[in-house]
Amino acid sequence: MILLSIEEMKLYLKENLMEKRYIHILGVADTAKKLAKLNGVPVGKAEIAALAHDVAKNLSKVRMKEIIDENKIVLSDVEENNSNLWHSIIAPIEAKDKFGIEDGEILDAIRWHTTGKEDMSILTKIIYISDMIEPSRNFDGVDDIRKVTLKDLDKGVYCGLSRSIEFLLIKNLLIYENTMRARNYFLFNPKFKLWFLRNIVSRLNLISKYKRWAYGEKG
> Does residue 107 form part of some domain?
yes
Q: Residue 189 gets which letter from DSSP?
A: S
User: Is 219 inside any structural domain?
Assistant: no
Confidence of residue 219 (pLDDT cuts 50, 70, 90): very low
Provide the CA 55 distance to its chain's centre, in angstroms.
14
Task: Give the pLDDT confidence of 110-122 residue by residue, as tens digits.
Answer: 999 999 999 999 9
Rounded mean pLDDT, 48-77: 97
Asked if the model's pLDDT at residue 35 lies above 90, the reply is: yes
Rounded CA-CA distance 109/103 in Å is 10
Q: Is 200 exposed, middle or buried (0-12, 13-18, 19+ CB in 10 A)?
A: exposed
Summarised one tens digit per residue, pLDDT across range 84-110 is 999 999 999 999 999 999 999 999 999
Give the per-residue pLDDT at 74.
97
Evaluate whether residue 1 is within a structural domain.
no
3-state SS assignment for residue 145? helix
Domain that holds residue 70: 6-214
Question: Which among 186, 82, 169, 203 has a CA at the least distance from the CA of 129?
Answer: 186
Amino acid at 48: I
Q: What's the total number of domains in the chain?
A: 1
In this structure, is residue 79 part of a structural domain? Answer: yes
Distance CA 83, CA 96 (A): 21
pLDDT of residue 189: 82
pLDDT for the residue 205: 55
194 domain-assigned = yes
Q: Note the pLDDT of residue 2.
A: 80
pLDDT tens string 136-173 = 999 888 999 999 999 999 989 999 999 999 899 888 99
Task: Name which of 65, 156, 59 is nearest 116 in CA terms.
Answer: 156
- At residue 22, the pLDDT reads 97
pLDDT on residue 214? 47
Q: Tens digit of pLDDT for each residue in 165-208?
A: 989 988 899 999 999 999 999 988 877 766 666 664 455 455 45
Instruction: Determine the pLDDT at residue 190.
Output: 78
- Asked whether residue 130 is domain-assigned, the answer is yes
Domain annotation covers residue 38 = yes
**pTM (whole model) above 0.95:** no
CATH of the domain at 192: 1.10.3210.10
Q: Would 19 be classed as within a structural domain? A: yes
- Cβ-based neighbour number of residue 203 at 10 Å: 13
What whole-number distance in Å separates Cα of residue 196 and Cα of residue 27?
29
